[in-house]
């Protein structure tokens, strides 16, 4: 919009620049403001259930293989100078076999689009750490289609007949005032079985726009069985769009997408992890950044369909704040009541975001007195179900939960 600590990504658990809050016993207890699952209630919230569709289609994510490949991206002496040119060449080979694209250390400026028809495709950085390979562009949801065409395709990166031409064209041909969030991604993959490893995706708009509404997506995924490992996603508003859509860039309320994110780092301010997919975040650091001066901040904004039991699951992770967050208290998230701006929230009709944060470390720079905000789009006040014998999918309540987390002391 929204474990064991990984030594590669997670800093020391003592942060600076945040005020102390009450002890954990006074803060994270079951109440309508911050409903907490019981042990027995928590048992069904596991990776297997998040990744099983209709009780029969189960997915067990496997490690990402960094296979040898002829599709190598790098400086002038490499076969390809941009990731998009390597993607185009790989897809032009017209194979349904898995494809790997290796990216040598460096900064690569420009969008990358991968169409729904692509075979299993892995993009991986060849550096020693994710910071060595950066895929970057400053792209703002508020620019016009004409500005988008100038920014994204000035050098003819997309041509009619290219595999990703349809994705580019659907945004370039818009007649709206601005391109909106759905066309603001640096890396956008619509394909199933897409994988990304050991690199950074950055929407470098960052603080250049000030605190207003300027969605700038770093990564958007629409496909099923997507894997991210050792990836850094950097942005401000709407950094990671964990979505599902059709080839015409329309929201698909029937298709279900599953995404597994492990050993990674995601930074932003407003709704910076958002969408409808079934997503599991395992050993991920979420860092809330206040340098843009936004008046509020939320890590998550799920818009899970009301008849789906599972949306986002966060396990063994860490919620931190950047060191400039003095006096700044982000919330852990809010529901996204997508499409209900005129009707208001309607139980059973409107999306009702589902999220569980479990067995994770939460720095005290977060608003732990009221960790959940009013819903995006409708401003529906947060209402948690704290009653005994509750139905965890009662759609008259929010479905944002905590279980077995640790609060981390911070210094002033």
Judge contact between 133 and 199, C-beta under 8 A.
Answer: yes
Tell me the C-alpha distance between 243 and 240, whole Å. 9
Q: Chain centroid to CA 324: how far? A: 23
Question: How far is residue 159's CA from residue 172's CA, in Å, rounded to a whole number?
Answer: 12
Q: Are the C-beta atoms of residues 276 and 243 closer than 8 Å to each other?
A: yes
Distances (CA, A) of 219 to 4, 60, 172, 277, 382: 25, 23, 19, 14, 28
How many Å apart are CA 145 and CA 172, to the nearest integer? Answer: 6
Q: How many residues does the chain have?
A: 412
176 class by beta-carbon count within 10 Å (0-12 exposed, 13-18 middle, 19+ buried): exposed
Short-list 400, 225, 391, CA closest to 303: 400
Q: Is 324 helix (H, G, I), strand (E, B) or coil?
A: coil
Q: Helices (H), strands (E): how many in the chain?
A: 6, 24
The pair of structure tokens assigned to 379 is 């401003």
Q: What is the 3-state secondary structure (H, E, C) of 242-295?
A: ECCECCCCCECCCCCCEEEEEEEEEEECEEEEEECCEEEEEEEEEEECCCCCCC
Report angle CA 327, 330, 331 to the nearest 5 degrees. 140
Q: Is 271 a catalytic residue?
A: yes
**Annotated catalytic residue within 192, 271, 282, 337:** 271
Which segments of 126-176 does DSSP mark as H helices, in order?
Answer: 145-153, 165-172
Catalytic (active-site) positions: 271
């Amino acid at each position: 919009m929204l474990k064991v600590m990984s030594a590669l990504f997670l800093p020391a658990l003592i942060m600076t620049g945040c005020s102390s809050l009450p002890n954990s016993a006074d803060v994270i207890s079951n109440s309508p403001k911050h409903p907490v699952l019981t042990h027995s209630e928590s048992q069904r919230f596991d990776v297997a259930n998040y990744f099983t569709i209709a009780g029969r289609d189960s997915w067990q994510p496997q490690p990402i293989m960094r296979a040898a490949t002829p599709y190598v991206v790098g400086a002038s002496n490499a076969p390809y100078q941009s990731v998009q040119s390597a993607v185009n060449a790989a897809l032009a080979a017209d194979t349904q076999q898995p494809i790997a694209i290796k990216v040598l250390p460096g900064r690569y400026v420009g969008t990358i689009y991968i169409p729904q028809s692509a075979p299993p495709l892995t993009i991986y950085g060849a550096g020693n750490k994710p910071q060595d390979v950066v895929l970057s562009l400053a792209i703002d949801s508020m620019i016009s289609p004409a500005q988008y065409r100038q920014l994204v395709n000035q050098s003819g990166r997309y041509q009619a007949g290219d595999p990703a031409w349809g994705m580019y064209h659907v945004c370039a041909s818009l007649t709206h005032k601005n391109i909106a969030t759905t066309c603001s991604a640096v890396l956008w993959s619509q394909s199933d079985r897409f994988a990304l490893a050991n690199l950074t995706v950055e929407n470098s708009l960052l603080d250049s726009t000030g605190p207003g509404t300027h969605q700038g997506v770093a990564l958007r995924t629409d496909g099923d069985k997507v894997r991210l490992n050792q990836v850094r996603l950097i942005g401000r508003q709407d950094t990671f769009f964990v979505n599902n859509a059709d080839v015409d860039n329309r929201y698909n309320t029937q298709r279900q997408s599953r995404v597994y994110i492990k050993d990674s780092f995601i930074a932003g301010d407003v709704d910076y992890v958002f969408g409808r997919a079934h997503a599991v975040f395992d050993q991920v650091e979420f860092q809330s950044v206040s340098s843009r001066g936004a008046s509020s901040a939320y890590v998550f904004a799920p818009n899970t369909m009301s008849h789906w039991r599972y949306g986002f699951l966060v396990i063994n992770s860490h919620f931190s704040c950047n060191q400039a967050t003095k006096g700044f208290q982000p919330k852990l998230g809010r529901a996204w009541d997508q499409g209900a701006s005129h009707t208001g929230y309607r139980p059973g009709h409107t999306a009702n975001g589902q999220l569980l944060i479990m067995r994770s470390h939460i720095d005290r720079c977060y608003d732990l007195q009221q960790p959940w905000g009013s819903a995006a789009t409708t401003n529906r006040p947060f209402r948690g179900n704290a009653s005994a014998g509750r139905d965890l999918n009662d759609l008259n309540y929010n479905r944002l939960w905590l279980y077995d987390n640790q609060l981390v002391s911070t210094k002033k």
